[in-house]
Amino acid sequence: MAAVNLLAELLLDPAVTLGPFDTFPQFQELFPPKYRDHPDARLLYRAFQRQRRIVREKVAKDIQRRYKQGLHGSMSMQGSRTTENQSLEETVHFLEDKQAEVEEELKATRQEIGTLEEAIHSLSSRLEKSKPTGPLSLSNLNQLEELKGLAATLRDPT
């Protein structure tokens, strides 16, 4: 609370808030000589004092409000940190589980790709041995269909 009082003294000190003109004659010095005695100069000075008073009151209220927020905010920040840490731990656990699942799926997919590659090589070598340079026979067409099916499976492993 001492810090609040010190801050309030510094910000709300009349010497600081009024500046170099805390009297009407000092305020009059701000105007050009021909307007210093004008009746509106006194009205402006009163309006200036009123505005300064409003600003001082607002600053005092803001200091108190921020001080109270700081007291309550530090307690709620500890609670929010605990909640945030729990949330992060849950997220890490969830992501580790997902990582394990994805690694298993990747391993299975690689095995399936290996199997399909072997089948393609086998069919390719059988096709080369038959060398269909002449008219295509039914067995050659079946081998081509098998190759097409394997190629389609490689593109869409579902």
Q: Whole domain around residue 10: which residue ranges?
A: 2-155
Looking at residue 80, its pLDDT comes to 58
How many distinct structural domains can be found in the chain?
Answer: 1
**Claim: this prediction has a pTM higher than 0.75:** no
Q: What's the CA gap between 26 and 32, in Å, rounded?
A: 13
In this predicted structure, what is the pLDDT of residue 141? 63
Residue 75: the pLDDT is 53
Q: What is residue 29's predicted lDDT score, i.e. its pLDDT? A: 87
User: With a cut of 50, which residues of the chain have pLDDT below it?
Assistant: none
